[in-house]
Amino acid sequence: TQTTQVTTEEGHEFAWNARRTGEFVAVGALVMAPTSHFFEMQMERALPGNAAREIAGKVLTRVVLAPCFLSLSFGSLALVRQRDVADAVRSSVWPAWKTGTLFWPAISVAQYRWVVV
């Protein structure tokens, strides 16, 4: 594993791991991006527009389906790392969903209101 040590201006050490970066790039580019794109296109067909009702429907759908996407993400990373997929999903999805639900809905509202699909 290639690791690069960097010291920030505040004096904290930061270790960049090239392998970990590659794993995230691979899962993001090959699994999550195509899946998310397909999902967003289907959601736009089902709930077209950027009125409040459509935005609310899209945000609620994302919140409800987020555990599926998180499972896909954590499971794919576990596969790439040759680790137990069930354990990775079991230990990571619930904490990530709870944390993400605090801020992603607000970001989604802005996205669906002002970003054209």
pLDDT in tens, the chain (117 residues): 555 666 666 667 778 899 999 999 999 999 999 999 999 999 999 999 999 999 999 999 999 999 999 999 999 999 999 999 999 999 999 999 999 999 999 999 999 999 977
> CA end-to-end span of the chain, whole Å?
39
Q: Look at residue 63 and give its three-state secondary structure.
A: helix
Contact 77, 23 (CB under 8 A): yes
Question: What pLDDT sits at residue 8?
Answer: 64
Question: What pLDDT sits at residue 18?
Answer: 92
Question: What pLDDT sits at residue 9?
Answer: 65
User: What are all long-range contacts of 89-95, with beta carbons under 8 Å and residues at least 24 apart?
Assistant: 93/67, 94/67
**Helices and strands, number each (H, E), in the chain:** 4, 2
Q: What's this model's pTM, rounded to 2 decimal places? A: 0.85
Comparing C-alpha atoms, which of 40, 49, 103, 111 is closest to residue 69?
A: 40
Question: What pLDDT sits at residue 3?
Answer: 59
